[in-house]
Structure 1
């Protein structure tokens, strides 16, 4: 095995190209309560892009969820990807997005989803000591609100 001179430490950002940009902002901002990152002193980040704070990442970087309007061109490894149709839900290569929250807030999250007319279902992952609350965002992507059981500890 080759020793690398670099070692990724944490997830810094996940970006989703949106079919319905406004509905996605409403879901992640108002329904789930993620705080929108405001442009800093160095300027804005352009039209058709918003960032939501997920928490601390590594080395001073803030972990974010980035939403891109489907027609927004951004930095990408592929050329001309804005012309490709957005694939969401089961057509997407994104299996699901998991956001962590405390165990004691999961029931309130389930109630919030129900108030918003959204389906939500719990699934327990006993092998990991987690319980996930699954729903779908307006584009059809699966979103998990996951919590670690207070009775389960990694040795």
Structure 2
């Protein structure tokens, strides 16, 4: 491993948080995952749907996310959108610092409707990786 990739801050414990797919036919795919796979629909909008897979890790529900494929997505191979790894809220800031210390650009986001905090980075080939944790201090707002 490249010496620049080493960090002196220990990595956060991780679990798979979600799998996200870009889909062409949102209605068909939503019906398939509800009916054939029998996942519980958590939220649906015209451009996205979220299904519960399992209880998850440290309050973050393991989910399948479907995102409507847009015109700009045509150049992207496959249907992969991003991978999300659940981390403990107590390690959110140290994980952000660790990733930044590796020279990675870290984007942050707050998802009020599910009370999640997220860190986003990209791998060397441009695949997006999310580190996500449940934060009960976030006021839950289903409109955002």
TM range (shorter): 0.3 to 0.5
More strand by percentage: 2
TM-score, normalization by structure 1: 0.41
So what's the TM-score if we normalise by structure 2?
0.44
Question: Which has the higher relative contact order, 1 or 2, with Cα contacts under 8 A spaced 6 or more apart?
Answer: 2
